[in-house]
Amino acid sequence: MHDKRVLVTGGAGFIGSNLANYLATNNEVVAVDDLHLGTPENLNDDVEFVDASVLDDDLPTEGIDVLFHLAAYSSYTMAEENKREATRVNIEGFVNTVEQARADGCDIVVYATTSSIYGSRTNPSPEDMPVEARTCYEASKLAREQYAEYFHHHYDMTLAGLRFFSVYQGYGGAEEHKGEYANTVAQFTHKIANGERPKVFGDGSQTRDFTHVNDIVRGIKLAADHKLQGIYNLGTGESYTFNKMIELINEELGTNVEPEYVKNPLDVYVHDTKADISKMRETTGWEPQISFEEGVSRVCKGYPEYETGFY
C-alpha cells in the first residue's frame, strides 16, 4: 500500500499508533482518537492527529481509501464496568465510522475483533470453529463481525475482521499509558524490573499466544493490500505459560523475582489461547517474524539499568 489516504481510529492507542506510524512512511495517515486510552505522544510527526470520538457525526472520512478501525473498549474488565458506553463505542462507533467512510466513497475496511470468543483452547483455533459471547466485550466484538457482514452484502464493501491474539510491545513502546490494561508481558516485565512480584491468577499454568505488535501491524496492512473479506486470525500458533514468560523475563533481566500466586477474581477467564494462522498465511503469505523469546528480549531492552548484553 503506497500513496493512499488512510484513517486509523483508536490511532493514538497502543496498536493504532504502531499501525499509524508504520503506514505513514508511504501514505497519508489520519489518526482519530478520543484519548480515552491513547495519547498523541505515541504518534510520529508525519501522522495527522484528530481528537474525536467514533460516535461523532463529522469524522475525517473524506478522501480516505482505507479505514482501519481499531477504536474500542478493549478489555473484559473495561467493558463490564462500563457496559452501556462500551456497547455504544464498540458497536455503534463501528457502524457510525464505517457508514461515514462508505458515504465518502471508501469501500475497504480492516477492523479489530477478538480471539477471546474462542474460549479456552490449547489446540489451535481456526476461524470457522463455533464461538460464543460470554462477556460484554466479546458480545460487542461479535456484533461488529455481524455488522461487517451486513456492510459487505448490502453495499459490496470488503471488510476484514482480524482476531488478534495477546498483542504486546512493552512499556518501552506505546503500551505504557494502558497501565492495568496493558498486556501481561509488559506489566510483569515492569514489575520484575522494579523488584516487585507480579500477581498471577491461579498456578501460572495458563497459556497465551503472545504476538508482537510489529507482526500484528504487518498483518493489518496486508489485510488491506489484499482486500481481504471475512474473518482472519493474527497470532503465532504457539503458546507459552505465564510461568515460562516470567522465567524468560528473569533470564533476560538477570533477576530472580518470583511471582505471587493469587486466587482468580474474574468471573469469566480464558485459560488458554492458541491461533490457527493457516488462513492468513495461505491468503497473504503473512508469517509472524518475532519469536516470543526475541519479543521478551525487546521488552526488556526498555530497562537499560540491567546489563542484558545490549547496551
User: Hey, which residues are catalytic here?
Assistant: 137
- Spatial separation of the C-alpha atoms in residues 54 and 169, rounded to whole Å: 25
* Counts for the chain of helices (H) and strands (E), in that order: 10, 13
> Quick one: DSSP state of residue 88?
I
**Coil, helix or strand for 258?**
coil
Closest to 261 in 3D by CA, of 244, 248, 242: 242
Joined grid coordinates for residue 132:
460464543
SS (H, E, C) 17-83: HHHHHHHCCCCEEEEEECCCCCCHHHCCCCEEEEECCCCCCCCCCCCCCEEEECCCCCCHHHHHHCH
Gyration radius of the chain over CA positions: 19
| 62: exposed, middle or buried (Cβ count in 10 Å: 0-12, 13-18, 19+) | middle
- Spatial separation of the C-alpha atoms in residues 291 and 278, rounded to whole Å: 17
Assess contact for 200 and 244: CB atoms under 8 A: no
